[in-house]
Amino acid sequence: DAGVTQSPTHLIKTRGQQVTLRCSPKSGHDTVSWYQQALGQGPQFIFQYYEEEERQRGNFPDRFSGHQFPNYSSELNVNALLLGDSALYLCASSSLVSGGGAEAFFGQGTRLTVV
């Protein structure tokens, strides 16, 4: 079982640019969530996708958008990057429909640096 995989591992972007991060969920999981973790803080929920739709959203601006594909993989897009967007971006997968409960498994994260 490959677990949750994210790409790329590290990324450096310039202010104002756009970035796309990718996530493949754990085998058998159908739900993908994205979190932002600033240095020294706990992860903050961005949004969650199930059945290719955004089901829940945290307190993040519209510059943050996402997508889920039929194979359950997901992308996180951030437009008009700000210095404050520098963080570790985490993808979590879970299996809500099949009765897996609330437990979520995380990938290794993508470290985004905005300069």
- Residues forming contacts to another protein in the complex (CB under 8 A) are 4, 6, 31, 33, 35, 40-45, 48, 50, 55-56, 58, 88, 90, 92, 94, 96, 101-109, 111
Rg (CA), the chain: 13
Judging by DSSP bridges, how do beta strands 74-78 and 87-94 pair with one another? Answer: unpaired
The residue among 18 and 101 lying less far from another protein, judged by its C-beta, is: 101
Compute the least distance from the CB of residue 77 to another protein, in Å.
Answer: 20
Compute the least distance from the CB of residue 80 to another protein, in Å.
Answer: 25
The residue among 42 and 70 lying less far from another protein, judged by its C-beta, is: 42
Q: Which residue has the tokens 């520098």?
A: 86
The residue among 31 and 85 lying less far from another protein, judged by its C-beta, is: 31
Compute the least distance from the CB of residue 81 to another protein, in Å.
Answer: 21
